[in-house]
């Protein structure tokens, strides 16, 4: 089974040279720490920065420089700042190549729910609805099951949707899945996790084709 | 044209119960701290506030929420504001949650004289309920309308007496669009200089969008998530 850090490490393998990438709050943020050697990617944070760097030192903290998770950050050489309309022009206009975000539920047809549990919790969609509606590549980073052990990979989402038919790939603590016609195609399994384990934790239709390789790090 | 007012009281003159107010900022970054304090002091009520977030429990717009001065919030993210979430779930506070990019564009459209636009964001979700859907290039989009406000209150790093504004880093966020969309736009700045001192090449918000400008007395600039490396 993968730790949250390993999920981020596995997603980092999906990055391609020259990509502009938007990382959501939580596990996705960790992806920035594992860019493959020699690769150039630039991180966009939708509150208004391209070229986001690591966290600052105590001396360099700037209250005016934060990411979409409101964390203090730094700007790399070549960075730029812009307003929110310009930021979402980059997103809606498909100038950002990859979006990585968390989810509460994902369904077989690529629907995603991650902003609201009616009557219980409302965080708001923030930029997630704009991101999922427009991104060419969306990878969901999440745990395979919720805290009660119920599958988050479903035939149909039960929670209010964030977007429809948009998720392409999912990396969980158990597996890498691709959303294809008819269900979730199992691409890879986490170390020491069997296909049966993944099947048990997946409520939606799992498509198993041939021998499923173990993830490599 | 001189847009300078003497202080925050004068800047917020005319803000009354029941008005719609836009407030710049993302989280606590780039919020008009001095004007928010003044709204608390003025005790104006039944406000409709358009702002990406509603501050935290004891800072930013959270201060107005605590005193129940806000009737309705138009935002994209409630986040970690417990009082906001509580008032929303209990029905005390009316909340219109809209996608962040749509919020930014709706403000921009309001200021730019564009009454509505189509966007793919929110199609197939609660956000699309009651909105016109139209296909462009084979993809469904929903119709979103422009937003304007009786007052827009923005915060900039530097400003001049003509109302020209320069923002710093990610404190820019919603401020430029909201400055455009206010019938009256109030700008509070950290540093107010005479017209001519700012380089016209560097201006983010031209003074035409600003009716009142003043230098804020103090800026706490509270940090929401203090993250550091060693």
- Chain A residues with beta carbon closer than 8 angstroms to that of B54: none
What does pTM read for this prediction? 0.96
With respect to residue A53, please indicate whether it lies within any of the assigned structural domains: no
Residue A26: the pLDDT is 87
Cβ under 8 Å to B: A residues 106-135: 111, 116, 119-130, 133-134
With respect to residue A75, please indicate whether it lies within any of the assigned structural domains: no
Residue A164: the pLDDT is 97
Query: To the nearest whole angstrom, how far is the Cα of B83 from the nearest Cα of chain A?
Result: 12
Mean pLDDT calculated for residue range B84-101: 93
Chain mean pLDDT for chain B = 97
CA B140 to chain centroid, in Å, comes to 29
* Count of domains for chain A: 1
With respect to residue A73, please indicate whether it lies within any of the assigned structural domains: no
With respect to residue A163, please indicate whether it lies within any of the assigned structural domains: yes
The model's pLDDT over B135-150, given as tens digits with 9 standing for 90+, comes to 999 999 999 999 999 9
pLDDT above 80 (res B79): no
Mean pLDDT calculated for residue range B201-216: 98
Query: To the nearest whole angstrom, how far is the Cα of A69 from the nearest Cα of chain B?
Result: 8
Mean pLDDT calculated for residue range B177-186: 98
With respect to residue A216, please indicate whether it lies within any of the assigned structural domains: no
Flag residues of chain A having pLDDT under 70. Answer: none
> Least CB-CB distance to A124: which of B79, B226, B229?
B79
With respect to residue A96, please indicate whether it lies within any of the assigned structural domains: yes
Domains and CATH numbers, chain B: 8-114+147-215 (3.40.1080.10)
The model's pLDDT over A30-46, given as tens digits with 9 standing for 90+, comes to 999 999 999 999 999 99
Range of the domain at A198: 4-48+84-207
Rounded to the nearest 5°, which phi and psi values hold at A113? -130, 125
With respect to residue A147, please indicate whether it lies within any of the assigned structural domains: yes
Q: Give the least confident one: A135-139, B197-201, B205-209.
A: A135-139
pLDDT band for B40, please (50, 70, 90 cuts): very high
Residue A4: the pLDDT is 96
Nearest CA in chain B to A120: B89
* CB proximity A205 to B under 8 Å: no
- Chain B residues with beta carbon closer than 8 angstroms to that of A71: 225, 227
Residue B73: the pLDDT is 96
With respect to residue A213, please indicate whether it lies within any of the assigned structural domains: no
Q: Are A63 and B99 within 8 A, CB to CB? A: no
> Least CB-CB distance to A49: which of B121, B123, B170?
B170
B224: Cα within 13 Å, side-chain hemisphere: 28
Asked whether A208 and A195 are in contact (CB, 8 A), the reply is yes
CATH number of the domain to which A179 belongs: 3.40.1080.10
- Residue of A187, A75, A83 lying closest to B29 (CA atoms): A83
Residue B80: the pLDDT is 75
Residue A25: the pLDDT is 87
Please give the positions of A annotated as active site. Answer: 46
- Chain A residues with beta carbon closer than 8 angstroms to that of B30: 64
Residue A121: the pLDDT is 81
pLDDT above 80 (res B230): no
Give burial (CB, 10 Å; 0-12/13-18/19+) of A94.
exposed
């Amino acid at each position: 089974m993968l730790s949250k850090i390993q999920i981020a490490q596995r997603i980092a393998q999906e990055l391609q040279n020259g990509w502009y990438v938007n990382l959501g709050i939580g596990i996705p943020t960790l992806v920035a720490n594992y860019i493959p050697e020699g690769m150039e990617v630039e991180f966009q944070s939708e509150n208004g920065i391209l070229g986001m760097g690591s966290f600052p030192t105590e001396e360099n903290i700037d209250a005016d420089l934060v990411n979409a998770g409101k964390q203090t950050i730094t700007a790399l050489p070549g960075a730029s700042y812009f307003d929110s309309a310009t930021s979402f022009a980059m997103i809606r206009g498909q100038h950002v190549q990859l979006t990585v975000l968390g989810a509460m539920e994902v369904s077989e047809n690529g629907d995603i729910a991650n902003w609201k549990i009616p009557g219980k919790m409302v965080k708001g969609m923030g930029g997630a609805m704009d991101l999922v509606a427009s991104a060419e590549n969306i990878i969901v980073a999440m745990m395979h099951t919720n805290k009660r052990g119920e599958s988050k990979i479903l035939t149909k989402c039960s929670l209010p949707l964030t977007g429809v038919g948009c998720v392409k790939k999912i990396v969980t603590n158990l597996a890498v899945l691709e959303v294809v016609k008819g269900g979730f195609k199992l691409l890879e399994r986490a170390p020491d996790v069997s296909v049966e384990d993944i099947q048990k934790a997946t409520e939606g239709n799992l498509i198993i084709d041939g021998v499923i390789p173990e993830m490599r790090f | 044209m001189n847009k300078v007012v003497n202080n925050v009281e004068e800047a917020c003159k005319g803000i009354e119960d029941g008005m719609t107010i836009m407030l710049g900022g993302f989280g606590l970054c780039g919020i008009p701290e001095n004007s928010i304090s003044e709204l608390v002091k003025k005790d104006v009520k039944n406000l409709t506030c358009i702002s990406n977030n509603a501050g935290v429990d004891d800072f930013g717009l959270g201060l107005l929420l605590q005193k129940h001065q806000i009737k309705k919030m138009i935002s994209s993210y409630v986040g970690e504001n417990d009082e906001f979430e509580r008032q929303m779930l209990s029905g005390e506070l009316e909340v219109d949650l809209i996608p962040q990019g749509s919020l930014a564009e709706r403000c921009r459209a309001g200021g730019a004289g564009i009454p509505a636009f189509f966007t793919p964001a929110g199609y197939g979700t609660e956000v699309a309920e009651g909105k016109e859907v139209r296909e462009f290039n084979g993809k469904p989009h929903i119709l979103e309308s422009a937003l304007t406000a009786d007052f827009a209150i923005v915060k900039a790093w530097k400003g001049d007496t003509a109302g020209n504004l320069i923002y710093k880093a990610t404190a820019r966020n919603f401020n430029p669009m909201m400055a455009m969309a206010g019938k009256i736009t109030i700008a509070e700045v950290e540093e107010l200089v005479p017209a001519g001192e700012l380089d016209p090449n560097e201006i983010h918000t031209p003074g035409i969008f600003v009716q009142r400008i003043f230098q804020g007395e103090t800026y706490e600039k509270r940090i929401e998530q203090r993250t550091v490396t060693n």
